[in-house]
Homo-oligomer: A and B are copies of this chain.
Amino acid sequence: MLKPDWIAVDWGTSNMRAWAMSASGTVLDEMRSDRGMGSLKPAEFEQALRDAIAAWDHKGTPIIACGMVGSRQGWVEAPYVECPAALDDAAARLVRVAFGAGYQLHIVPGLRCVGSDGQVDVMRGEETQVAGVLAEQPEFDGVVCLPGTHSKWVHISASEIVSFQTAMTGEMFDLMANQSVLRHSVSSDALDQHAFDDAISETLSRPERLAQAMFGIRAEGLLHGLDSAKARGRLSGLLIGAELAATRPYWLGQNVLVGGAPALVALYARALAAQGVPVQTRDAERLTLAGLCLARQSLSEARH
């Protein structure tokens, strides 16, 4: 039976992923399930985790988890840490949960932030991806963009998360594409990149016209039979363009790294490149694992 040095867990609303790790940070094995926090009752959390790691000899093995497992509706609340937040005292912030005999779960807390305009913001799970960027590039100074259901733009300087901002772009795209009147227009899975590019540049110059420009997709469909890949490209470009218009101070003249699902990362990288911003790209899972490794390392150091 495989005996990992420690176990890494990314436990979100919809899914749970667990990795059996070696002491040097190599993935020895992995498990995926759809037993996310959102589909479980509190009484089921422990068993869901035990089931996920049952194939491994995990007695006494430290488990380090990030994501919604630490939310108020999660297993144990790991209160938000206030920004600016240094990432070198991660171990001190891990919230420890003992369960069964000799099991230890360490939960990474989320972050909170107050913007210069007084608006508050939160993240939970993405802080681990940001830590992953710093694990790979300790000197990174600039902005990490993590597109997804709720896109995060994170300003990093001197190994600290200075501030961040969230846009609901991904969730808006899903709702507009699947549930609004636009669903008739964007039924394709394909996405026309030329239509995407045009929409990005259009929204960057007139971001306030979002709700009008989106209805234009419907009107084009009715009057001119707009191709659905073009419609999808245009909807995606309008929404991402609006996000870029609002986050301009985050990316203009900055060193930007975009992390997430590869297809989405490619769209953001394309849009930013068109604005003259060169970006590094990373897969989200790689960043999550690197961030959990950093937490594991700080935990070992704290014990010695």
Q: Footprint of B on A, CB under 8 Å?
A: 72, 80, 112, 119-122, 150, 165-169, 171-172, 175-176, 179-181, 206-216, 218-220, 222-224, 239, 242-243, 245-247
Chain B contacts of A224 at CB under 8 A? 120
Chain B contacts of A214 at CB under 8 A? 168
Stoichiometry (number of copies): 2
User: Which 3 A-B residue pairings sit nearest by Cβ, starting from the closest?
Assistant: A207-B208, A167-B211, A208-B245
Q: How far is the CA of A80 from the CA of B246 in the complex (A)?
A: 36
A–B Cβ pairs within 8 angstroms, 28 of them: A80-B223, A112-B219, A112-B223, A119-B216, A120-B216, A120-B220, A121-B216, A121-B219, A122-B218, A122-B222, A150-B181, A165-B212, A166-B215, A167-B211, A167-B212, A168-B180, A168-B212, A168-B214, A169-B211, A175-B175, A207-B208, A208-B242, A209-B246, A210-B210, A210-B246, A211-B239, A211-B243, A212-B246
Contact partner, A168, options B122, B211, B247, Cβ 8 Å: B211
The answer on a CB contact under 8 Å between B175 and A179 is yes
Given A120-B220, A180-B171, does the pair A166, B212 have CB atoms closer than 8 Å? yes
Classify the interface of chain A: helix, strand, loop or mixed: helix
Q: How far is the CA of A112 from the CA of B168 in the complex (A)?
A: 32
The answer on a CB contact under 8 Å between A215 and B121 is yes
Query: A175: nearest residue on chain B (CB-CB)?
Result: B175
Q: How far is the CA of A119 from the CA of B206 in the complex (A)?
A: 13
Chain B contacts of A80 at CB under 8 A? 223
The answer on a CB contact under 8 Å between A219 and B120 is yes
Given A168-B211, A207-B207, A208-B246, does the pair A223, B122 have CB atoms closer than 8 Å? yes
Chain B contacts of A72 at CB under 8 A? 222
The answer on a CB contact under 8 Å between A171 and B181 is yes
Query: A122: nearest residue on chain B (CB-CB)?
Result: B219
Query: A13: nearest residue on chain B (CB-CB)?
Result: B181
Further contacts, 13 of them, CB under 8 A, given A80-B223, A150-B215: A112-B219, A119-B219, A120-B216, A120-B220, A122-B223, A150-B181, A166-B215, A168-B211, A175-B175, A208-B245, A210-B210, A211-B242, A211-B246
Chain B contacts of A150 at CB under 8 A? 181, 215
Chain B contacts of A218 at CB under 8 A? 122
Give the Cβ gap from A250 to chain B, nearest Cβ, in Å: 11
